[in-house]
Structure 1
Amino acid sequence: MIEMLEGRFFKTFVTVVQERSFSRAAEKLGYVQSTVTAHIRQLEQACGKKLFNRLARGVEPTEAGEEMAKFASQFVQLGASLAEAMNRLEEPRGTVCLCALESFCVTRLPLFFGSFFATYPNIRLQLETGFFHDVVDSVAHHRADLGIVSQHPGRADLVFYPLQEERLVVVASPELGDLYDAAGWEGLSGARVVGFGSRCVYQTAAGELFSAKGLMAKDALEFASLEMIKQTVSCGLGVALLPEIGVLEEVRTGVLRVLPAEPVVLTHGLIERSGREPNAAARRLRQSLLEFFGKV
């Protein structure tokens, strides 16, 4: 018997019982009346009983129909409960772990977070910062749901979604800027290179750029904070390659100068583990980031 039954037959049956009419049930369900008739016929064939008596105006359940109604109603309610449970899985709630570069968090994400958490107050964010390889390893080994890195990791086990091009510019104090004006890059031959350290992609790019200009990185100063790097450079202790967006205010107020070098352009992007189904909170964060940066 069960092999002959479908959920839509029960829904049609319950609607006919409620409406006491095949035609009104069809109208309510958006069917033609012949579809309702066919569904009820299928149920009658499955249980071997007549389920409705036709009256002058409408129909009424037979004794078998009354018995069927008990089970049909439970089946419809169960279906509704199942649909509700599945929908709850899509609700953006719970904890999502995001691992990102500190400089990107400082310069790009505050405005995003303000609007995101106002819209999704039930999502809790666990934000971690690290260098490029730290972020990649955290996502690859399931310690973070999502990561933001400064370039494509080139790994088959990770999916990369481009977010934002980042221009890196060479900055120095006004005093070192004057030395550059007087003697070009040779005037900065004794300057230290200030950055995030050898594990940072920015620092790798800085090493290549400064080496081409004749600046040696052997006296490099390393800090984990963008703010510390800017303060160190502004004191005249060296030059740095930093995100342009992160030094706009300092350049505007004359605390730092941008030296005339070809900008280094990197493409920041969102990464997640390939083949892994993220939870609803992570999916919503991913979608919101892509929307915020205009990538969807």
Structure 2
Amino acid sequence: MIDLLEGRFFKTFLAVIEEKSFNRASEKLGYVQSTVTNHIQLLERACGQKLFHRLSRGVKPTEAGLKLAKFAHQFVHLGLTLEEAMNESNQPKGTIYLSMHESFFVTRMSPLIQQFHLKFPNVKFRVETGYHHNVIDDVSQHVVDLGFLPRNPQRDDVNFYPMIEEELIFIASDELTRNVEANGLKVLNNEAVISYGNSCLYHTQANKVLEEAGIEVGNAIQYPSIEMIKNAVKCGIGFALIPKIAAKKEIDEGVFRSLPLSSGIFSTHGIIVNKDRNLNFPAQMFKSFVLDHYSFQTDPEKA
């Protein structure tokens, strides 16, 4: 089987998975579509398995295709690592693949990426965003080099490196906060809880705190980004649990306030790395750069 495999087949295979289309994959890779089709057919012949379901609007991987994806990512990563090792230049170059929650990218990671890129302009970044389980999957399946999570996933296949203790707060409009202060937490029974959805760790933490406070969580609204969540709170649509750093500007400006619901809600953000992944030189440098920046600060205001 291995004699029939070529690295370009794996690159084509991953491009089709990412683009969900042979045509879009060919545009991305600069091939004609027949070349992409030929690469996939040769790969299917080598594996002895059908790798994609052909749908009316694109394609999706079969069960065999999903299994192969993990090894394809490892194969491509190995090639990039080998290329880096053969490069005698002291100036690192290549692409670092990251996965994290959208709010962490906005509030914490984007400035660090900018600083690192200014220092090492030949290093590029590719960032995936998703929920807690999406980040874990990206790391465990070798899709990315580094994942960033708001707590230790306690898994045998990844290493967790703590970075910073992040404080979370409930935010609400000034009107709703005054109502709670005047009439008690029972007011929140009639208000919507805003979050990224049931898959979000912050949503789970919010429900736990609300349940302990005797607040019945009935109405929940899901938004895909931290900015949409904050704007919904500004409009008085409901209240939300978000990282304190993400709300600092609006609280300072009096746009919304922190609810007197609970104090001392923290999550320890850290980096996760697949135990079987040998990070290339740029990824190793960026991991050290991030950990050195935070040095596991317990006070988020020091970051």
- What TM-score do the two structures reach when normalised by structure 1? 0.69
Instruction: State the 1:275 CA deviation.
Output: 3.0
1:65-104 matches, within 5 Å, as 88=88, 91-104=91-104
C-alpha change, 1:263 and 1:237, in structure 2 (3 Å) is: farther
Could you tell me how far apart the structure 1 residues matched to 2:90 and 2:133 are? 31
Indicate the residue corresponding to 1:145 in structure 2.
145
Indicate the residue corresponding to 1:276 in structure 2.
277
Instruction: State the 1:169 CA deviation.
Output: 0.5
Q: Which runs of 5+ in 1 are unaligned?
A: 1-84
C-alpha change, 1:238 and 1:135, in structure 2 (3 Å) is: same
1:285-296 matches, within 5 Å, as 285-295=286-296
CA distances 1:136-163 after superposition (whole Å, capped 9, x unpaired) = 0100010111100010010111010001
Larger Rg: 1
Could you tell me how far apart the structure 2 residues matched to 1:201 and 1:157 are? 20
Could you tell me how far apart the structure 2 residues matched to 1:295 and 1:165 are? 7
Could you tell me how far apart the structure 2 residues matched to 1:168 and 1:210 are? 14
Indicate the residue corresponding to 2:66 in structure 1.
none
Please tell me whether the aligned partners of residues 91 and 120 of structure 2 are also in contact (alpha carbons under 8 angstroms). no
Say how many residue pairs are matched.
213
Q: What secondary structure, in the 3-state scheme, does the structure 2 residue paired with 1:216 have? A: coil
Indicate the residue corresponding to 2:259 in structure 1.
259
Q: What secondary structure, in the 3-state scheme, does the structure 2 residue paired with 1:239 have? A: strand
Could you tell me how far apart the structure 2 residues matched to 1:136 and 1:162 are? 15
Letter in 1 for 2:282: A
Q: What secondary structure, in the 3-state scheme, does the structure 2 residue paired with 1:148 have? A: strand
CA distances 1:89-115 after superposition (whole Å, capped 9, x unpaired) = 875211110001111111112321221
C-alpha change, 1:131 and 1:90, in structure 2 (3 Å) is: farther
Could you tell me how far apart the structure 2 residues matched to 1:193 and 1:150 are? 20
Indicate the residue corresponding to 1:26 in structure 2.
none
Indicate the residue corresponding to 2:235 in structure 1.
235
Please tell me whether the aligned partners of residues 166 and 243 of structure 2 are also in contact (alpha carbons under 8 angstroms). yes
Could you tell me how far apart the structure 2 residues matched to 1:252 and 1:242 are? 16
C-alpha change, 1:95 and 1:236, in structure 2 (3 Å) is: same
Q: What secondary structure, in the 3-state scheme, does the structure 2 residue paired with 1:96 have? A: strand
Could you tell me how far apart the structure 1 residues matched to 2:240 and 2:180 are? 14
Indicate the residue corresponding to 2:72 in structure 1.
none
Could you tell me how far apart the structure 2 residues matched to 1:88 and 1:274 are? 27
CA distances 1:154-204 after superposition (whole Å, capped 9, x unpaired) = 011101000111100011101101111111101222011001111010000
Could you tell me how far apart the structure 2 residues matched to 1:211 and 1:87 are? 56
Superposition misfits of 4+ residues, deviation over 4 angstroms = none
Could you tell me how far apart the structure 1 residues matched to 2:278 and 2:158 are? 13
Q: Which runs of 5+ in 2 are unaligned?
A: 1-84, 298-303
Please tell me whether the aligned partners of residues 190 and 215 of structure 1 are also in contact (alpha carbons under 8 angstroms). no
Please tell me whether the aligned partners of residues 140 and 273 of structure 1 are also in contact (alpha carbons under 8 angstroms). yes
CA distances 1:214-245 after superposition (whole Å, capped 9, x unpaired) = 33333100111001001101111111111000
Could you tell me how far apart the structure 2 residues matched to 1:218 and 1:90 are? 57
Indicate the residue corresponding to 2:47 in structure 1.
none
Indicate the residue corresponding to 2:130 in structure 1.
130
Moved more, 256-265 or 244-253: 256-265
Please tell me whether the aligned partners of residues 171 and 256 of structure 1 are also in contact (alpha carbons under 8 angstroms). yes
Could you tell me how far apart the structure 2 residues matched to 1:222 and 1:94 are? 36
C-alpha change, 1:164 and 1:173, in structure 2 (3 Å) is: same
Please tell me whether the aligned partners of residues 167 and 264 of structure 2 are also in contact (alpha carbons under 8 angstroms). yes
Could you tell me how far apart the structure 2 residues matched to 1:204 and 1:295 are? 24
Instruction: State the 1:87 CA deviation.
Output: 6.5
Please tell me whether the aligned partners of residues 191 and 215 of structure 1 are also in contact (alpha carbons under 8 angstroms). no
Q: What secondary structure, in the 3-state scheme, does the structure 2 residue paired with 1:125 have? A: strand
Instruction: State the 1:280 CA deviation.
Output: 1.2
Could you tell me how far apart the structure 2 residues matched to 1:140 and 1:255 are? 40
Could you tell me how far apart the structure 1 residues matched to 2:185 and 2:151 are? 28
Could you tell me how far apart the structure 2 residues matched to 1:131 and 1:89 are? 37
